[in-house]
Amino acid sequence: MPKVHLLDYVAGNIRSLVNAIEKLGYEVDWIRSPEDVPRAERLILPGVGHFGHCLSQLSQAGYLPAIQKHIDEGKPFMGVCVGLQALFDGSAEDADVPGLGVIKGRLERFDDATKSVPHIGWNSASTVKQSMYDLRPDSKYYYVHTYRMPYIEGDLESQGWTVATGTYGDETFVGAVAKGNIYATQFHPEKSGVAGLRTIRAFLNGEGAAALGANTNTTDSIASAPRDGLTRRVIACLDVRTNDQGDLVVTKGDQYDVREKDDSRNVRNLGKPVEMAKKYYQDGADEVTFLNITSFRDCPVADLPMLEILRQTSETVFVPLTVGGGIRDTVDTDGTKVSALEIATMYFKSGADKVSIGSDAVLAAEEYYSLGRNLFGNTAIEQISRAYGNQAVVVSVDPKRVYVPKVDATRHNIIETRFPGPKGEPYCWYACTIKGGRETRDMDVVELAQAVEAMGAGELLLNCIDKDGSNSGFDLELIAQVKAAVRIPVIASSGAGNPGHFVEAFDRTTADAALGAGMFHRGESTVKQVKDFLNEKGLLVRQFEG
């Protein structure tokens, strides 16, 4: 099997990259010291997390001269995400740490005045009438980043680079660059489905470099490329737990009750997690989320069944995988303390791209406010986002409505609702819950959202207990309240019953993504039908490439 060398320089969730390379028939060999670099024929520099952290690690370990030499010798080199950013002079993310300086320019932060940051989701990598590693104008690629290289027409081209761009809001940025033996992508090709595998293949087999710059029929100029190429994300969610027979099943509740309504009160069994995730990927899901809703309390941490589910799923599903449930400091069955960061690391090594934190986030937010909004770096959110980047940390929120008769009836952030309470109350606030909705806390959803954003969460998965399993549509009032409170992306969840509900979420709120569970599991609509309907209504979606 032909080999490709991957630089293993920093803790990162790069299992997916390995899986993608192996899927293409190549063997991964690890570079674990600068002395190993000269034996690499093709070298990939993956990168997740913080620019300064990655570059400092590379520099301290003595990698930078070795990488530079590899590049100077004309051997194939590919950088992914921070691996692309590393090629530039530097980044505003850490102004004190220099990049490799192979490309002139500095990265800047996306402007979050009118859009969510990080930029998360499927966007274009468009080139101007030029072939570039099999990137295609109609394909979409998965990006997740806060800093970007602004695209100035002609600038990089005048230095001999071929450039592919994406556009987010009114900002056009560098999505990929290539010259000679160098290819680098801001997006994650290993998470970009078939389109991503295609571009990795073009790097590995040398055809991308050979054809670089050849004439194609793509866009005339970047200015004429479609504006704002970010698609509406559709996420399939699988709630996983053991049933009464001890089997691991996908289940789905109504208002978080996952047992049958008949006398049996069995846990609803809707299918097998790995099979269902694969089906949703093939239907065009933009992401798949697994929530371990019982946390498998009596099992040694290293044997968590979710780890095996992730390992198997990530071998065939090349879109981002999120895993949630039980991510908190804990004590193992043998009495050993295990930190939330260690649990997250195990998940990342098994193929997860993001972890989702529920109960622990609420408790951490309570502490944040009780300590006068000060942070000490010790919460699970802070630790995991520091090590893996904000984009790797999702906070899953399980709020439920509390109705009040008048504006000053509570200290909480209220809304005036179009759906009054049982006694006609015209206002409500959303109380955060923990332990799968079993315990309600004196914290509202706005307080939680703002606290976890301050801690470094990269995204919110906004469930709603009142709506869960109802098939009656998302709680648009809740989504609007949370979106107005934070800058990070918000995933609308709970209540989806038909494709029209997804259109509503995107048309009537600024939700960044929308998630469905029961309607997909029960076969009422497929992910494809949802995306086709969004497309019909003029909302940009990623078309699945088989």
Strand-pairing partners, residue 236, are 288, 516
Could you give the CA distance from residue 358 to residue 427 in angstroms, rounded to a whole number? 26
Instruction: Give least dist CB 527 to ligand 1PR, A.
Output: 12
Amino acid at 186: Q
**What's the min distance (Å) between Cβ of 150 and ligand 1PR?**
36
Known catalytic membership, residue 138:
no
Strand partners, 337: 331
Choice between 253 and 458, CB closer to ligand 1PR: 253
Residue 31 neighbours by CB distance under 10 Å? 23
- Report the nearest approach of ligand 1PR to the CB of residue 468 (Å): 4
* C-beta closer to ligand 1PR: residue 212 or 517: 517
Q: Is 81 a catalytic residue?
A: yes
Q: In whole angstroms, give the CA distance from residue 443 to residue 266.
A: 33
Retrieve residue 236's tokens: 């399939």
Shortest Cβ distance from residue 383 to ligand 1PR (Å)? 15
Report the alpha-carbon distance of residue 51 to residue 33 in Å, rounded.
20
Of all residues in the shown chain, the one whose CB is closest to ligand 1PR is: 436
Select 357 or 393, whichever has its Cβ closest to ligand 1PR.
357
Rounded to the nearest 10°, the torsion over CA 79, 231, 461, 332 is -30
Residue 217, classified by CB atoms within 10 Å of its CB into exposed (0-12), middle (13-18) or buried (19+), is exposed
**Considering 287, 366, 382, 398, which one is annotated as catalytic?**
398
Nearer to ligand 1PR, 385 or 396 (CB): 396
Tell me the closest approach of the beta carbon of residue 187 to ligand 1PR, in angstroms. 26
Rounded Cα gap, residues 171 and 276, in angstroms: 37
User: Rounded to an integer, what distance in angstroms lies between the CA atom of residue 9 and that of residue 31?
Assistant: 8
Is 412 among the residues known to form the active site?
no
Given the residues 93, 190, 287, 353, the one annotated as active site: 190
Question: Which DSSP string do the residues of 367-396 spell out, in sequence order?
Answer: HHHHTTS---S-SHHHHHHHHH-GGGEEEE
Side-chain half-sphere exposure of 418, counting CA atoms within 13 A: 4
Q: Smaller CB distance to ligand 1PR: residue 55 or 293?
A: 293
- Residue 188 bears catalytic tag: yes
DSSP string, 32-82: -SGGGGGG-SSEEE---S-HHHHHHHHHHTTHHHHHHHHHHTT--EEEETH
Q: Alpha-carbon distance 540 to 294, whole Å?
A: 36
Please state the closest distance from residue 535 (CB atom) to ligand 1PR, in A.
21
CA trace torsion 105, 188, 121, 445 (10° rounding): -90
Instruction: Report, in Å, the least distance between residue 252 CB and ligand 1PR.
Output: 5
Q: Which is nearer to ligand 1PR, 136 or 328 (CB)?
A: 328
For CA atoms 8, 9, 12, 17, the dihedral sign is negative
Least gap, CB of 326 to ligand 1PR (angstroms) = 5
Task: Find the shortest distance in angstroms from Cβ 128 to ligand 1PR.
Answer: 41
Nearer to ligand 1PR, 360 or 382 (CB): 360
Tokens matching residue 449: 């959202």
- Contacts with 497 (C-beta within 8 Å, 6 or more apart), sequence order: 470, 471, 472, 473, 518, 519, 524
The yes-or-no answer on residue 190 being catalytic is: yes
Out of 5, 53, 81, 366, pick the active-site residue. 81
**CB of 350 or CB of 463, closer to ligand 1PR:** 463
Distance separating alpha carbons of residues 219 and 129, to the nearest angstrom: 6
Closer to ligand 1PR by Cβ: residue 209 or 344: 344
Q: Smallest distance, Å, CB 279 to ligand 1PR? A: 16
Q: Are strands 427-434 and 399-404 parallel, antiparallel or unpaired?
A: antiparallel
Instruction: Give the tokens for residue 297.
Output: 């309390």
Residue 482: phi and psi, rounded to 5, are -70, -40
| Nearer to ligand 1PR among residue 144 and residue 238 (C-beta) | 238
Residues that bind ligand 1PR (CB under 6 A): 237, 239, 252-253, 256, 258, 291, 293, 295, 324-327, 356-360, 396, 398, 436, 463, 468-469, 493-496, 516-518
Radius of gyration over every alpha carbon of the chain, rounded to an integer in angstroms: 23
Overall residue count recorded for the chain in this entry: 546
Catalytic residues: 81, 188, 190, 239, 398
